[in-house]
Structure 1
Amino acid sequence: MAFTITSSSSSTAISGYCRSTCPSEPKGPQFSSVRLVDRPAAAVSISSDRSRRSAVRPLNAEPKRNDSIVPLASAAVAPELGEKVVEAEDYEALANELVNASPLEIMDKALEKFGGDIAIAFSGAEDVALIEYAKLTGRPFRVFSLDTGRLNPETYRFFDQVEKHYGIHIEYMFPDSVEVQALVRNKGLFSFYEDGHRECCRVRKVRPLRRALKGLRAWITGQRKDQSPGTRSEIPVVQVDPVFEGLDGGAGSLIKWNPMANVEGGDVWNFLRAMNVPVNSLHSQGYVSIGCEPCTRPVLPGQHEREGRWWWEDAKAKECGLHKGNLKNESANGNGAAHANGTTAAADIFESQNLVALSRAGIENLSRLENRKEPWIVVLYAPWCQFCQAMEESYVQLADKLAGSGVKVGKFRADGDQKEFAKQELQLGSFPTILFFPKHSSRPIKYPSEKRDVDSLLAFVNALR
């Protein structure tokens, strides 16, 4: 885990932590929208003795999959920060309060509130600005990154430069090798050029990110409004994450900080030059927004920076899934409300060969049977619902785990014309609603929890099957 540490006694290098002390009272002119915050140096004593490792919460808090041959993310040693009690807060009000704050002030507030339960998501582009802001606060901080296995060589060298410059260890998250192997064997190395990048990004980026965030209560991103007018024009500086779940599980368990939401790209680069920090050498070759090598190319003069990402696709959908909540055609709530324009044109979800899509007639027949040949678990969903999207991975995993077990896994799209029927006949309250149809009972049992990870769903099934 990456931490910046200031010590009152020395600035001795400690592996995994900042090797240089931060100024006790950083003062100076403003760079772009940056205003340095006065802060006395914190005296922190760190021990890397192995006996303390048992108290460390790893970034990846999800249990290791039995079928995975890839080790989980490196578990670096973290200082004993103690349990941080986070009081309930109105984050919409906090976002309004911080709307005119500098990135440094927002970063300081985020690290103050969440301590060791927050981490910076570093993508190998301008996100180095986030690390610089974190260092300037004088507070400990953590950094993680998603290594998809398909990054540019220049990006890997940049990672190494950043670690050495700041004296940190970046916590890398990797995709599951079994899932990557299945994707490549079935569809080839470049299937995304033909059927879109969503599936590849889900395997290589979204699922590793989901594992990482389950070990956190908050995360920090480098999103800016001017990066993608089609998907990021309305992002706040802080929000309850609309897609992912955090350490405590359930909707609202993860907070997302976007300190640079209101900063323009030119100002970010003025700051990076002023602070003389490492930058990815690809930027000097015309790359602005940098992702995986096959899906990123330089942009021409006058082109927007996101035009170099997934250039063969619709410009209004250029998100890999890490910030899926930004997409305009997705609902901002999970209460079963339709889109503002009344459409339900979002792409379908919960796609798996082990999962049965039920029609209206199919679920009516299933609900009327009193003696079924096998029990069923069925999700009532709307594909535009962000909470349904958030549980897509875990529900597909559930279907795969239950394949051949005698339990059928199904889905029923219950929005639009089917919503009233689902409310009256299927106990639909909000999306998603999960029902278990026992083998010898006509009435389905409603899943009562907001924890929708695969282990919780599997425990629910096993208790009733």
Structure 2
Amino acid sequence: MSEKLAKQLNNEFNEKETVETLKALAERFEEKIVFTTSFGVEDQVITDMIFKHDLSIKVVTLDTGRLFEETYKVYSRTLEKYSKPIHPYFPKNEQLEKFVAEKGPNSFYASVENRKMCCHIRKVEPLGRALAGMECWITGLRASQSQNREGLEFFNWDSGFSLVKYNPLLHWELEDCRKYVLENHVPYNVLHDRGFVSIGCAPCTRAIQPGEDFRAGRWWWEDNSKKECGLHKH
């Protein structure tokens, strides 16, 4: 597989409905397709589409160990609503123990290097295990979330993980996602009602003020050029 496949899929599914595309991808990639959720409003839209239509797509989540209590509540409510499995991936305890012992529990505030190391241990490495052996990765990325994401297409080749990445909500706006979860009675994180638009680990996420950039609530002590954790490289 390569960028050629991503281009082919863009041409094939450019005019297709989202659920129709998800169903076709599930059939094409069989057991080698995965969706990663962090239980934000975008991910809850996709989770509903997958579970409601009983699609054969593995749903996984990265439990960093420092998520908001509200996030775990959405996790539980989602399991209860759909009675479908969501597979958790945790950081490797040896790596995390060594990092915290050497750097301290909140060392990510001290430097970008420490923060990226923490993200790598808690998120990137577990993601690598979640994506191992997969050929298609579904995400909740939207073009309007940040400047880094404006150039994305529905299908992109992820050279880091050597698979095709599908972004079904690429051209959705935040309000489209909010409308979907309300109309379809999908569980969502109440932090969204408190000004949180992008929800990650509790120590690294805050609400944003009107007019602030979408990513302003993530790692707010760093400059905007560094506002990615390493899961999505564009």
Aligned sequence identity (%)? 38
Counterpart among 219, 237, 254 of residue 137 in structure 2: 219
1:168 has 2:77 as partner: no
Q: 1:136 to 1:169 in 2, by over 3 A?
A: closer
Question: Within 5 A, what are the aligned runs for 1:224-373?
Answer: 224-229=142-147, 231-245=148-162, 254-324=163-233, 326=234
- In 1, Cα distance between equivalents of 2:54 and 2:75: 22
Structure 1: runs of 5+ lacking an equivalent: 1-85, 246-253, 327-465
- Name which of structure 1's ranges 234-243 and 177-186 shifts more when overlaid on structure 2: 234-243
Q: Which residue of 125, 128, 150 corresponds with 1:210?
A: 128
- The structure with the larger Rg is 1
Aligned-partner Cα distance in 2 for 1:233–1:167 = 35
Task: Report deviation, 1:103.
Answer: 2.6
Pick closer, same or farther for the CA change 1:90–1:141 going to 2, 3 Å. closer
Which residue of the other structure, out of 178, 201, 212, is the alignment partner of 2:119? 201
Shift, 1:190, TM fit: 1.3
Q: Which has the higher contact order (CA 8 A, sep 6+)?
A: 2
C-alpha distance in 1 between matches for 2:175 and 2:231: 24
TM-score by length of 2: 0.92
Distance 1:101 1:318 in 2: 32
**Structure-to-structure mapping, 1:35-434, within 5 angstroms:** 90-126=5-41, 127-196=43-112, 197-229=115-147, 231-245=148-162, 254-324=163-233, 326=234
In the comparison of the two structures, how many residue pairs are matched? Answer: 230
Hey, what's the Cα distance between the residues in 2 that align with 1:236 and 1:97?
A: 13
Q: 1:195 to 1:213 in 2, by over 3 A?
A: same
How big is the shift at 1:272? 1.3
User: Given residue 146 of structure 1, which amino acid in structure 2 is its aligned partner?
Assistant: L
Higher helix fraction (1 or 2): 2
The 5-angstrom pairing of residues 5-20 of structure 1 reads none
SS state at 1:144 partner: strand
Whether contact under 8 Å (1:110, 1:257) holds in the other structure is no
What is the RMSD of the two structures over their aligned residues, measured on CA atoms? Answer: 1.8
CA gap of 1:268–1:100, structure 2 versus 1, over 3 A, is farther
Q: CA deviation at 1:100?
A: 4.3
What are the Cα deviations for residues 367-396 of structure 1, in whole angstroms up to 9, with x where unaligned? xxxxxxxxxxxxxxxxxxxxxxxxxxxxxx
The equivalent residue for 1:355 is none
Question: 3-state DSSP class of the match of 2:149?
Answer: coil
Could you say what secondary structure the match of 2:165 adopts?
strand
Hey, what's the Cα distance between the residues in 2 that align with 1:90 and 1:173? 28
Contact kept? 2:51, 2:84, Cα under 8 Å: no
Contact 1:104 1:259 in 2 (8 A): no
Residues in 1 aligned to 2:85 and 2:20: alpha-carbon distance in whole angstroms: 24
Amino acid paired to 1:175: P
Q: Tell me how far apart the structure 2 counterparts of residues 170 and 154 of structure 1 sit (CA, whole Å).
A: 17
| Residues in 2 aligned to 1:188 and 1:265: alpha-carbon distance in whole angstroms | 36
Gaps of 5+ in 2: none
The 5 A counterparts of 1:17-32 are none
